């Protein structure tokens, strides 16, 4: 992407796109890549959001591919009005470049660790609990905090009913599109892809129009932030406790107190560089 793709746009929208919350998706494959239909569908839902955002008055759109290896959206099929952040090992996980935007749309999101939705997890399946200043957070809230750090509000969330319920406790004015309801952690009743796309498109249009009127407010993270991270096994807690400022507080638990961006960097280190052999 050339820098002039996003220089000078007065109302640029940031779209973070995950996979587990798209319509019809109920299970992970054994390994990457994802099935072709899922790659097509996440691209369709993102394109619907881009189309709606542009219709609502967005003058630029940056899309962040955030699922797994972060190479899921099909570039050749992506909306021509969008620029794409693709590939992993990013400092802010999936929120890099949000500081260049005015509004955030979250597409294809899922419930957090311990949630009741489809494929619930937070950042990485090795994390079984992530609390920020005492509150259990999911990826939608991590996104909202990171955007809020830069003064950018979140206006739209699409995904399953569980992530909407979790997130609206903290962001009650968020517009939401529920594309499926959980029947279990690996099953759901889902909308037809055409219906899901139409709903996302129309809601994105409305959200951008409201955003331009200043109807959404940023959700900044606590300062300082106190994070408690629980892992599925002790080894991961031991690995992260080697990072200066991270304290081991139990066999499978660590804590960190400090700045928000430093916490995102710690989570990025875990996800992108601390791996099993």
Domains of the chain, each with CATH number or no CATH: 3-119+139-212 (3.40.50.10780)
- What lies within 8 Å, CB to CB, of 131 at 6+ separation is 137, 227, 228, 229
Residue 252: count other Cβ atoms within 10 Å of its Cβ. Answer: 19
- Give the whole-number percent of the chain exceeding pLDDT 90: 94
Residue 156's DSSP bridge partners are: 105, 175
Per-residue pLDDT of 133-192, as tens digits, reads: 999 999 999 999 999 999 999 999 999 999 999 999 999 999 999 999 999 999 999 999
In order of 30, 42, 224, the CA distances from 36 in angstroms are 14, 10, 43
pLDDT band at 33 (very low <50, low <70, confident <90, very high): confident
Cis peptide before 224 (omega within 30 of 0): yes
Token digits of residue 84: 């794409």
This prediction's pTM:
0.95
Rounded to a whole number, what is the largest CA-CA distance in the chain?
51
Token digits of residue 206: 């409305």
d(CA 68, CA 33): 9
- Helices 139-149 and 260-273: crossing angle in degrees, nearest 10, is 130
């Amino acid at each position: 992407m050339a820098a002039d793709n996003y220089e000078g746009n007065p109302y640029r929208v940031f779209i973070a796109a995950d996979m587990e919350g798209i319509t019809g998706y109920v299970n992970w494959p054994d390994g990457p890549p994802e099935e072709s239909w899922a790659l097509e569908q996440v691209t369709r839902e993102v394109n619907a959001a881009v189309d709606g955002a542009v219709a609502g008055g967005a003058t630029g759109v940056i899309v962040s591919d955030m699922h797994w290896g972060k190479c899921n959206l099909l570039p050749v099929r992506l909306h021509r009005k969008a620029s794409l952040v693709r590939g992993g090992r990013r400092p802010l996980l999936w929120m890099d470049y949000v500081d260049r935007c005015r509004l955030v749309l979250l597409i294809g999101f899922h419930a957090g660790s311990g949630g009741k939705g489809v494929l619930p997890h937070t950042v990485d399946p090795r994390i079984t609990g992530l609390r920020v200043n005492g509150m259990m957070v999911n990826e939608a809230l991590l996104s909202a905090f990171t955007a809020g750090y830069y003064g950018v509000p979140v206006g739209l969330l699409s995904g399953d009913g569980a992530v909407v319920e979790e997130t609206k406790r903290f962001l009650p004015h968020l517009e939401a599109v529920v594309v499926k309801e959980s029947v279990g952690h690996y099953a759901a009743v889902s909308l037809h892809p055409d219906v899901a796309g139409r709903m996302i498109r129309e809601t994105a249009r409305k959200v951008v129009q409201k955003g331009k009127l200043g109807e959404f407010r940023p959700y900044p993270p606590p300062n300082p932030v106190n994070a408690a991270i629980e892992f599925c096994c002790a080894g991961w807690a031991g690995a992260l406790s080697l990072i200066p400022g991270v304290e081991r507080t139990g066999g499978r638990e660590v804590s960190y107190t400090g700045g928000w961006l430093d916490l995102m960097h710690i989570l990025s280190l875990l996800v992108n560089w601390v791996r099993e052999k």
